[in-house]
Structure 1
């Protein structure tokens, strides 16, 4: 537990807009947000309070990441290479997450193997065990929770999902179908490129496509139904993944799904808005100026008011950068752009104690300096404790 900390001479991004002022934290909580400054010369202790002059930098809420595959890259940094220490891999991931300004992260772990052989099964069990262990030892700086990504066409998905369905930190489940020829991979060539099968003969690739379509026909409907029922009984939010058509979205709503992750077309995003689904797009899509799979541009959706949340997906640093680019490139007010990585995910995940610089919220605070229009994380605090 910390005492009183005063952040002053700051551009404070509040839910209503940006003010020049001061934020006061006491213990784990934001105690006050005020216009104006406290006189100080850098960092000093005044009457038992720690006063920090942030020199005009931004004070923003700690970022909330709801879908990142980055942990998997630490466990498996090269194809066929499994890092020998699961704890070390998780701590390395935690370091990069916090350095990116993320104070709450849903580690997104895949349930399903398909083209990955047994490696996905191993990564799942290792990841969950490492998160449990590290949380019990209180060695993680960010608040790590879980998001299970379920490949519904996979014959082994239930075997992988069921043991973890009652994890207390399971905050989100997404239903994925990466069968080539639909959703993310309407373009077969993009599927072939993504899974590094360009060197296959056309005959080999056609055989794989037929095999995967057969798995979809046999498994997708029943797995989807069972996983949805399990999540609804437990009150776990469910996301639909890579919606492409209006019918994909309508089906999701009929099934009680509340989030559309990475819709691939403007039509699917517009239908999601009409039917009340939260719309998630990738921050790398924003930073790069387009989708790596050739699908809809996140900037285009944002300009049409069809984006609620950004996810860093595979690059943690893209989350903050993407939010600032929504402001700089699309013209969205900064407080609304930053809400896509703070208040909006907090609301959809029922994390009501965080996500805003507001009195009574948890003191998850990030100091950000703009350098050549790039947001640079200077310091990070979670629950009143300095992490960086």
Structure 2
């Protein structure tokens, strides 16, 4: 998988190690990329390693959905840039946000207005697979977002899923009048606010929506999902708006409800044993951009299993520390680590500070406003750092001095192969 070259041995000590169930002072040892020892109360000043002091030590964040890479590659219609450049720069943004495992949302559909196509999606997914390990430190994976009413090019989708290292699919239906945009005036208002609508384009949208509404999104869906399930793909529904839609998705074998837009849909998903995911930007902002469900309600009623950054990377860490005062830092951290890992079937490999897990760790200054990442280790290798080295070989991660603010963070000691 992606990430820095494995470090033989690294010792991290902190007054605030964030374990799966509690926060404690302790010592974490990573050897050959894997956590081998977690000792409570074993914080010995002067250990030959990284001494964090009051800086929190968390598992690397796991993000199951972010749209940013597509925007980095195509920042404007018809303006496509080198995916390697886009991926490299986005990788560094993810590290600054504490994300060590990223599922890039790649949209499998033909939408001329936004310069999206099945062929373009295949190219982007391929770039993530092949370029991620070369230019990135983060473990770069793909969330294959299939638009249900796009019934052509399915062989391309199947091939992309089969080629993926971790196979993940979400079932999208973005036709105005259903799901996220079930309220048509809200849809039009959002389009205008984003600068993407005019009287002519709205008329075209209405015509296209009418055409798409004549396509049954569930026709042949069970056959498609049977093929997908044979590939061992984790499947999520998307923007569930009714109890009936949730029940249909569950009957088809879907076990993740991503971004339910009504409380009733989220509650029914949980009753059926589905895992419920919400957008961190929604929680941080205090509500939906389109007048839908406030993710904070899910957190307060224990209906939220995981968070993802959606369209804004910094929101994931911000959401964790926004929830921490009411729910505890360990529980809040699980929503961005062990929760998403369990949803996608990676919880045996990562998502917690525990022996046997990957050495993906982040140091976070929780006493600053806002809380921010000061260091990241991937497979035990330091790949991002803002700190003050000392002559003893111990790195005490502290607020940067004025000179460091001017010169920027120290470069990583190792680069990906």
The partner residue of 2:28 within 23, 29, 32 is 23
Separation in 2, partners of 1:2, 1:90: 24
The partner residue of 1:140 within 131, 136, 142 is 136
**Is the 1:94–1:141 contact (alpha carbons within 8 Å) kept by the matching residues of 2?**
yes
Cα deviation code 1:63-97 (max 9, x no counterpart): 111111110111012343222x1211111111111
Counterpart position of 2:39: 34
Cα deviation code 1:168-218 (max 9, x no counterpart): 3242100000111121001112222333477533x8635533432332432
Which segment drifts farther, 345-354 or 206-215? 206-215
Separation in 2, partners of 1:334, 1:38: 20
Distance 1:35 1:163, change over 3 A: closer
Deviation at 1:113, TM superposition (A): 2.5
Separation in 2, partners of 1:125, 1:157: 10
The partner residue of 2:244 within 229, 234, 247 is 247
Distance 1:278 1:221, change over 3 A: same
Counterpart position of 2:391: none
Matches within 5 A, 1:75-86: 75-83=73-81, 85-86=82-83
Distance 1:156 1:192, change over 3 A: farther
Q: Normalization by structure 1: what TM-score? A: 0.91
Runs of 4+ in 1 over 4 A off after TM superposition: none
Separation in 2, partners of 1:2, 1:106: 24
Aligned residues: 376
Deviation at 1:9, TM superposition (A): 3.2
Q: Structure 2, unaligned stretches of length 5 or more?
A: 1-5, 385-417
**Is the 1:346–1:354 contact (alpha carbons within 8 Å) kept by the matching residues of 2?**
yes
Q: Structure 1, unaligned stretches of length 5 or more?
A: none
**Is the 1:12–1:21 contact (alpha carbons within 8 Å) kept by the matching residues of 2?**
yes
**Is the 1:244–1:263 contact (alpha carbons within 8 Å) kept by the matching residues of 2?**
yes
Separation in 1, partners of 2:327, 2:153: 40
The partner residue of 1:355 within 332, 351, 355 is 351
**Is the 1:11–1:18 contact (alpha carbons within 8 Å) kept by the matching residues of 2?**
yes
Separation in 1, partners of 2:7, 2:138: 17
The partner residue of 1:344 within 339, 344, 352 is 339
The partner residue of 1:383 within 379, 383, 406 is 379
Counterpart position of 2:125: 128
**Is the 1:150–1:157 contact (alpha carbons within 8 Å) kept by the matching residues of 2?**
no
Counterpart position of 1:332: 327
Separation in 2, partners of 1:219, 1:246: 18
Distance 1:110 1:40, change over 3 A: same
**Is the 2:129–2:164 contact (alpha carbons within 8 Å) kept by the matching residues of 1?**
no
Cα deviation code 1:237-288 (max 9, x no counterpart): 1100000111111111100000001000110111011111110100000111
Distance 1:157 1:149, change over 3 A: farther
The partner residue of 1:102 within 99, 104, 107 is 99
**Is the 1:272–1:279 contact (alpha carbons within 8 Å) kept by the matching residues of 2?**
yes
Distance 1:72 1:81, change over 3 A: same
Separation in 2, partners of 1:67, 1:223: 26
Counterpart position of 1:65: 63
Separation in 1, partners of 2:362, 2:83: 28
Separation in 1, partners of 2:163, 2:213: 27
SS of equivalent residue, structure 2 residue 277: strand
Separation in 1, partners of 2:68, 2:197: 27
Q: Does 1:119 align with 2:124?
A: no
Separation in 2, partners of 1:326, 1:117: 35
Deviation at 1:314, TM superposition (A): 0.8
Counterpart position of 1:297: 294
Counterpart position of 1:161: 157
**Is the 2:77–2:115 contact (alpha carbons within 8 Å) kept by the matching residues of 1?**
no
Separation in 1, partners of 2:216, 2:114: 17
> RMSD of the alignment, in Å?
2.1
Separation in 2, partners of 1:161, 1:222: 17
